[in-house]
Structure 1
């Protein structure tokens, strides 16, 4: 592997490695390239350069706002010879940055926009580092401040990802690497290996967040079992448990120190109090990486768990007001290091970042300066983020066309909506008069959700298992007589929009079994199934899609799993060959429906919820996305759009179209 424009490893100078940056600057409309030799001071070989802990409030007045967008780092590094896919320009820049980052901070956060190939970039880093080590490069292996020297070191990378992403990681490694050059172990399931020594045979060990949490619980039980204390008397229940767990070995994942830990979809550790997050924190490694397209969405506190995972000094630590001790955990009444009360310790991140930003107002100078500190000092050094718009020249993705279709409820749907709205408004006004809004806040959110569901289909309110309202009274208060509009008649005879009927004949028995097991369809007389305005709008757009392009495929997203069932049934009865995906599917079933959609030309539509389709899906065979209802979280919508508009679609020639199917209702806008 060849390093270009950046010598990221240097043992020749005692002062530390030299990082050579080529920076393009713009000044008065003129561009010029300058070379910056930056000497990274490293006085202590066992400690990386860190920011000193401020004993007084941060002198944020010294930080001035600067336009860092005008600086573009041009360092690149070539991939390993075992990596067979060509890297794009921005991926080579990542590789050079990541190699430097492991020398300085022992990791970081890769926050590239979804669909830009974060998995590929992580694989390239592992293979590049392996090849450099094989060629004799010596890297700093100094431990993190909290690491244990007693744990054996494993020269492999532990990848922690959602269960649904395990198969994708295995496939991507197989696709990116030379055959036979890389060994992969999937550490999942009841029959996974128990001996940690076998980890040393593999370059990648891939596991899930649930397995890490489970093993951490076992580790706690293991410590309790082996720390019985003086005067301990074994009870019968405890003896039975020990006999059941014949092996006295420490759980494998936490019994070793990994060379590298990679968290895929790192938002899974967003809550620092969750057991999953604490289990991830308990793992030991030399280098740590977090991959996430949305490092934080609502508040800076969400970013803290990633900083804590990386163990960056001082941002991750609690500091004592009376001495210089620092700790990562805030667990006991007294600090184990200095014996001072933990109430005399403060969290650096909370004090200097989270509180000033979250408590500031729009015109607060202190909050603005803290944001500058967060953006231009902390995030700039630890987080790398690129977007598709910014790297459009590298990606060469097909054009993306976003359209909004606005329909109106028909008369009966509007009457039903008005009935619900008036009843919900009466409840809301009563809570306001009684000053009990806080006690009923979850109920209010539920009422708003019901109004959103009605615009999709009235069945979502009438037949929902969690319905708290008297749906029968609401239904009877609407017009008893059905109008002749298309939205409240039984569906007409299905029109086959595809040319292949054999698949439908083969699937009829499976469909009948599924419809009977559906939480909502089993309560409906399917012979008299009534459509809705939104379902008709979707069917019309699908018909237009097929008329424009006979080979086109589309994905339908909704935030409500019950509505996904209604969509699936409606399309099936209309003659559209489709598959569905929900978050309760097993991995094998998920892989089967994804394979069918990608391979079978007559399978036109993939119906799924935002949560089910948000991760680990490469569906670039599709060229259309239909969003049936807007999500509370805009990141979920972006994930939906990126299912078909990402780096895996390079070479895709069809423009991608995204349709938002909405309703124009005056009261929703007020």
Structure 2
């Protein structure tokens, strides 16, 4: 037997919803169910509703809008167009079988928005750099046979793309073509980079006109040759005697000149050192820099460490003090060089290779560093939490911050429990540790980070509730400072189509 309550429910809610669905009387019945019945019997306490009891400080959202630079926008646009073209092919009838591929391509566009490196140097990109045939068999880029013990040379990809349609024997000599192109680029900087390179010395410069190789110690024909990493050749007997008398096993020529073993300066006749157009132009620019501002300093970038060695030697001869950083510099020497350049007013130049000191910073990383600087300026004791769904992007941020002298800790899905506890403890107790970098999945729950008062959302997650939960690691009971939340948006996306834009 139906009660009066059951009759009312059946008449005004159940039957209209069954008959009308989501429109007409069915829609009205759903609103009635939600606002009149469920609202009275369900208990849902929010921070807004219980703000008087919680006494939480306010949370302010500052939306940061930035515009991509030309290179980043061109790369993102080309990647987006390629993704859209591939999606159009799926839309013709195979979309239901390609959900994973569509998701992967959308994620690549999202990653490129953070930093192009996340796409260019991803594991998938490097593993797919070799071309596979219809059977899925990967071919070597040189011998065009099935790959054995594969090695990926991502830095040579542009030359492979340039030459792969060439005729003749070009396809079998990519490595030689790359080597010759690099020699031409080096010669533009200074002929010494080619004439006194390790390859050149090993092939010709250590031999006389008859092709006879001379020992660097006894200057006689080499017997049982020993070739050091720096390119100098010695008799085995002479090398053993030198090592025994000098008490060390480094290169005798390098030991005499005083330069590091890998330096090109060990292979050059320094008493007859010749300059180059670029060296003279650089010295002139340095002279103008000092004339305009006596306290000014500068940074010199080059992709060739051997060219940095020549610049260093040339500047020292001119009385200009400088420090150098390249891939062979250990961590202790690196820190010493950075400290000297920052603190010594007489040290005018910092010479560094692009790989060792010139890691590209894109707009997102640069703007994030700017926000951190503002945070410290507003409050000298302030700390922040950085959220991103891409651990590889957190790695780039971590490296960039360390280079800038900002101490931080990182937590992602690969962090074990011991390292996790250590990172949390350091962030909560060390006043010099300013930032906590974490992924949304690893750091979005079960954390109390009320010591921080700033939240940086580097990218937007699919589910806003997950973002809200992550932000509540900071804005929760125990927080006494106003919380500043900074999400990133980009003006380029305003023109994106509705297919992709919601995923950003």
Using structure 1 for the length normalisation, give the TM-score: 0.38
Give distance in 1, aligned partners of 2:100 and 2:406.
Answer: 38
Q: Secondary structure of 2:431's match?
A: coil
Give distance in 2, aligned partners of 1:405 and 1:420.
Answer: 24
The 5 Å alignment of 1:270-669 reads: 360-361=21-22, 363-370=23-30, 372-373=32-33, 377=37, 380-381=40-41, 383-432=42-91, 434-467=92-125, 476=158, 525=355, 527-649=357-479, 652=480, 654-665=481-492, 666-668=494-496
Q: Secondary structure of 1:601's match?
A: coil
- Partners of 2:108 and 2:119 within 8 A in 1: yes
Structure with higher Rg: it is 2
- Partners of 1:419 and 1:474 within 8 A in 2: no
Give distance in 2, aligned partners of 1:661 and 1:558.
Answer: 11
Give distance in 2, aligned partners of 1:470 and 1:52.
Answer: 70
Give distance in 2, aligned partners of 1:570 and 1:58.
Answer: 65
Give distance in 2, aligned partners of 1:461 and 1:57.
Answer: 61
Report what 1:14 is aligned to: none
Q: CA deviation at 1:451?
A: 1.0
Q: CA deviation at 1:369?
A: 2.1
Q: CA deviation at 1:599?
A: 0.8
Give distance in 2, aligned partners of 1:606 and 1:644.
Answer: 11
Give distance in 2, aligned partners of 1:411 and 1:60.
Answer: 62
Q: CA deviation at 1:593?
A: 1.0
Cα offsets for 1:225-250 (capped at 9, x unmatched): xxxxxxxxxxxxxxxxxxxxxxxxxx
Give distance in 2, aligned partners of 1:457 and 1:58.
Answer: 59
- Partners of 2:12 and 2:29 within 8 A in 1: no
The 5 Å alignment of 1:28-427 reads: 59-62=9-12, 360-361=21-22, 363-370=23-30, 372-373=32-33, 377=37, 380-381=40-41, 383-427=42-86
Report what 2:232 is aligned to: none
Give distance in 1, aligned partners of 2:48 and 2:360.
Answer: 43
Q: CA deviation at 1:375?
A: 6.4
Give distance in 2, aligned partners of 1:580 and 1:642.
Answer: 18
Structure 1, gaps ≥5 residues long: 1-50, 64-351, 479-488, 494-501, 506-523
More strand, by proportion: 1
Q: CA deviation at 1:553?
A: 0.3
Structure with greater contact order relative to length (CA < 8 Å, sep ≥ 6): 2
- Partners of 2:411 and 2:420 within 8 A in 1: yes
More helix, by proportion: 2
> How many residues of Structure 1 are paired with residues of Structure 2 in the alignment?
286
Q: Secondary structure of 1:615's match?
A: coil
Q: CA deviation at 1:661?
A: 1.7
Q: CA deviation at 1:614?
A: 1.2
Cα offsets for 1:136-161 (capped at 9, x unmatched): xxxxxxxxxxxxxxxxxxxxxxxxxx
- Partners of 1:60 and 1:369 within 8 A in 2: no
Q: CA deviation at 1:584?
A: 3.1
- Partners of 1:420 and 1:474 within 8 A in 2: no
Q: CA deviation at 1:438?
A: 1.8
Q: Secondary structure of 1:620's match?
A: coil
Q: Secondary structure of 1:384's match?
A: coil
Q: Secondary structure of 1:608's match?
A: strand
- Partners of 2:67 and 2:490 within 8 A in 1: yes
Q: CA deviation at 1:525?
A: 4.9
- Partners of 1:416 and 1:475 within 8 A in 2: no
Indicate the RMSD between aligned Cα atoms, in angstroms. Answer: 3.9
Give distance in 2, aligned partners of 1:591 and 1:637.
Answer: 23
